[in-house]
Amino acid sequence: MVFADLFFIYFFMPLCLLIYFVAHSIPARNVVLLVFSLIFYAWGEPVWVVMLIAYSFLNFMTGKVIGRAKTQKTKKCALALAIGVDIGVLALFKYSGFLVENVNALLHVSIPVPDIKLPIGISFYTFQTLSYSIDCYWGKVKVQKHFHKFLLYVSMFPQLIAGPIVRYSTIAEEIDNRHTNLRDISEGFSRIILGIGKKVIIANSLNTVVTSVFGTAENGYSGVGTVSVLAAWGGAAMVALWYYFDFSGYSDIAIGLGRIFGFHFDENFRYPFICKSITEFWQRWHISLGTFFRDYLLYVPIFGKRRKYGGLFLVWFCTGLWHGASWNFVIWGLYYGLFVFIEMKLGKKRYKNWNPVFAHIYTKLVIILGFGIFYFEDFGALGKFFKALVGANGNAFSSVVTRKIYLANIFLIIAAVLLVTPIIPKIKELAARSAGKYYLVRSAGVLLNAGILIISSLLLLNTTNNPFLYFRF
């Protein structure tokens, strides 16, 4: 089941909320939320819900062992088991085919490549269970004594499929003690509608522009070999915007739903495109993933010692690989890691002296090129993309066809560029200062939300399958 679906918006979510708020006690509401979460995950693929429950039970039990252990050795063994199973299962489903393909290519053998279907959301809930086990070992969180509460944490449907990666420490207290007021409900619904609008109105439309310019993986990225120089750079910029609106839209829906249920998830995006450095970009983009690797991987001893730069490149290698079993993702991760490394060597003081205009141009060019790398999973197409950027494919600097594509979508592009800046919060801030116009501002907000929801619903009428991009990660 997906959020950007009429069934979810007008049946599943209202039914869940109705039963949830009819149940007055927190234990009863936890049961309601758990049941609906398991139904949500099992929708269409019920076999994977069994694995989710078993996965959760193993991590729950290893957490209890860590909490009760009297010796450090026992704790380490329990943690090693949890990490080994979590990483092992993720590697089996997500990377086994990739590994065999590379072994075949390197050794010139023909080992059958396993075709294992990836359970939806496994990359996200694996990192949640990992963070719980490690935090229990470090003594940062209290061990959860009740399995149904731990299962609720792992399977909670607002963030189960595509994040944000919610740590147990963030919601541990709210599992047993939380409340929802009218402001929570109002702001929660506004956030949900904003997320749906980002996905359905903007991200899906940007997807159409990108595929018109570059083509898709299914058709071999048919457009990349002939696309003009301007269209290649513009197409990569559209990829960056597309991924932002798609993924941040999902995060908005997840955070909004959590708010209505009384949970306060951390922000996952903070207007990343206003950054003045690549380091700042990654402090604003997919924050839950970046902080996970920072806290659990950056300072891992390499060959017996903590190595500052070795840990840095290990983080960025894993960041790339986490996104998919393809070398372009690894290159993408190391590419960003290289710029973070350069900025570290320059130092904060020296970097602050850069001209702000130059800093913005530098970061946007790096980001645009980075998302071009991200989009092309085929190395042949990626090579053509790099050549297209400088006209090395024999392609023209500009072309009539691509100009028509961009001109036909000019209002979409302008809206997308404006909305990646904090323009809406600024408008709200200015409106909040006009105390005498409070009700006018509130009414305008309600009308805007209604308009976004109506337009999104009309667009979804002709859509049978509308998954978010990060479902496949």
Distance of alpha carbon 349 from alpha carbon 339, whole angstroms: 17
pLDDT band at 148 (very low <50, low <70, confident <90, very high): very high
Which one, of 195, 170, 380, lies nearest residue 288 by Cα? 170
Q: What is the pLDDT of residues 280-297, one digit of tens each?
A: 999 999 999 999 998 888
Between the alpha carbon of residue 227 and those of residues 212, 221, 367, 385, the distances in Å are 10, 11, 20, 9
Written in H, E and C, the secondary structure of 386-433 is HHHHHCCCCCCCCCHHHHHHHHHCHHHHHHHHHHCCCHHHHHHHHHHH
Q: Are 395 and 226 in contact (CB under 8 A)?
A: yes
Of the chain, the percentage scoring pLDDT greater than 90 comes to: 56
What is the average pLDDT across 179-191?
92
Distance of alpha carbon 372 from alpha carbon 215, whole angstroms: 13
Q: Are 279 and 294 in contact (CB under 8 A)?
A: no
Place of tokens 């609106």: 245
> Residue 218 has what pLDDT?
79
| Pair of tokens at residue 247 | 């993924």
| Pair of tokens at residue 344 | 């570290």
Give the catalytic positions in this structure: 323
Q: Is the pLDDT of residue 435 over 60?
A: no
Q: What is the pLDDT of residues 208-240, one digit of tens each?
A: 999 888 888 878 888 888 888 898 999 999 999
Range with lowest mean pLDDT among 5-9, 150-154, 197-201, 390-394: 390-394
Q: Are 408 and 213 in contact (CB under 8 A)?
A: no
pLDDT band at 436 (very low <50, low <70, confident <90, very high): low
> Residue 391 has what pLDDT?
87
Q: How many CA atoms lie within 13 A of 364 on its CB side?
A: 15
| Pair of tokens at residue 314 | 């290990």
What is the average pLDDT across 397-425?
87
Distance from CA of residue 295 to its chain's centroid?
A: 18
112 cis-preceded (ω within 30 degrees of 0): no
The verdict on pTM exceeding 0.85 is yes
Q: Are 238 and 132 in contact (CB under 8 A)?
A: no
Distance of alpha carbon 100 from alpha carbon 309, whole angstroms: 30
pLDDT band at 434 (very low <50, low <70, confident <90, very high): low
pLDDT band at 423 (very low <50, low <70, confident <90, very high): confident
Between the alpha carbon of residue 265 and those of residues 18, 169, 184, 190, 258, the distances in Å are 22, 11, 13, 16, 7
Range with lowest mean pLDDT among 118-132, 367-381, 439-453: 439-453
What is the average pLDDT across 73-88?
92
Residue 337: CB partners within 8 Å, gap ≥ 6?
312, 313, 315, 316, 317, 319
Query: Which comes out higher in pLDDT, residue 237 or 402?
Result: 237
Residue 137: CB partners within 8 Å, gap ≥ 6?
66, 75, 76, 78, 79
Q: What angle do the packed helices 229-261 and 356-375 form, to 10 degrees?
A: 90
Domain residue spans of the chain: 6-178, 183-276+354-472
Between the alpha carbon of residue 450 and those of residues 194, 199, 247, 342, 444, the distances in Å are 10, 16, 22, 46, 10
What is the average pLDDT across 178-189?
92
